[in-house]
Amino acid sequence: MKQFFALALAAASSAASGQMPATNPMPDGSRDMYAGLGAVSRARYEGADSSKTSVLPVLQVQWSNGVFISGMSAGMHLSTDPKLEFGPLVSLHANRDESGNGGIVDGVGVSTLLPLAARVQRENPLAGMPDIGTRVEGGAFLNYYLNPAWRFTSNVLIGSGRERDGARMELGVQRLAVAIAPQHTVSFNAGVTLVNRDYNRSYFGVTDNEAWSSGNPVYRPGGGLKDVRVGARWNWALSPSWMLTTNVQATRLTGSVRHSPLVERPTNVTVSTAFAIRF
């Protein structure tokens, strides 16, 4: 099946941040939904030197009971404190094959073994590396409002990687929507991602067998700080129902993954824009 990916309207950095407010004025049994279509230009995979552009669906839904769907994540707000947001969270981690992230999903495959001469001539670091299928991650989020304009965000998710033993934690700070003109708002975010050793070895490591099949040198990264990121979002309310949202985010790989033979460029920029209608 094709990897499904959605742009999260309310998430400036990660859909896992739990963007919707804990205090919910919605009537019981009601919902608030945005749906639409957008385009995203991003690195072929984390650390790739090349990029790809895709046309993708947009989905964000909030129900009055606190359940929400935001992009590729879903969760539930359990707090009644307007300064605090927390609850369970599930998310889909994109698959990876030789073409990069978001290609054909067929589980963890075994690459075809190539003659050494053919492998050396390959320019794609993922050529000869085994595929990693789409993974369902589970965890929780916790956000805290310093004031109406600033918020700390955090989430922990477990279940990624070849053996589904990868874990990651995202920590961030957000400057929420600032009105710059009628119908126009901007917001900003910055954050870091921490991961365990199993995560890094799945997505950035090279085992002895993988070195033979791909031509990459053996590499066994440890856990720790994976990346740092900054981003901005611009929302244009075209009407009470229609909105144009644009996101720009720069991410730089750090720590042991920075020196992985799979990393061609440590800094990647993702740009997305989408039209959405509110139901």
- Residues 100, 48: contact at Cβ < 8 Å? yes
* Burial group, residue 182, by CB count within 10 angstroms (0-12, 13-18, 19+): exposed
**Per-residue pLDDT reduced to its tens digit, 168-180:** 999 999 999 999 9
Per-residue CA distances from 208 to 58, 126, 156, 216 (Å): 41, 15, 30, 10
* Length reported for the chain: 279
Nearest to 124 by CA among 217, 215, 226: 215
According to the 3-state scheme, what is the secondary structure of 22-47?
CCCCCCCCCEEEEEEEEEEEEECCCC
**Per-residue pLDDT reduced to its tens digit, 67-107:** 999 989 999 999 999 999 999 999 999 999 998 886 433 33
Give dist(CA 140, CA 216) in Å, integer.
Answer: 36
Half-sphere exposure of 8 (CA within 13 A, CB side): 20
**Per-residue pLDDT reduced to its tens digit, 235-271:** 999 999 999 999 999 999 999 999 999 999 999 999 9
Question: Domains of the chain, with CATH numbers?
Answer: 15-278 (2.40.230)
Q: Which two tokens stand for residue 63?
A: 């129900």
Give dist(CA 2, CA 212) in Å, integer.
Answer: 29
**Per-residue pLDDT reduced to its tens digit, 20-51:** 544 445 566 678 899 999 999 999 999 999 99
Q: Which two tokens stand for residue 2?
A: 């094709």
Give dist(CA 69, CA 60) in Å, integer.
Answer: 5
Output the pTM of the full model. 0.84
Integer distance in angstroms from the first to the last C-alpha of the chain?
29
Give dist(CA 198, CA 137) in Å, integer.
Answer: 14
**Per-residue pLDDT reduced to its tens digit, 209-240:** 999 999 999 999 999 999 999 999 999 999 99
- Sequence-ordered strand ranges (E) for 23-110: 31-43, 51-63, 67-70, 73-76, 84-93, 96-97, 100-101
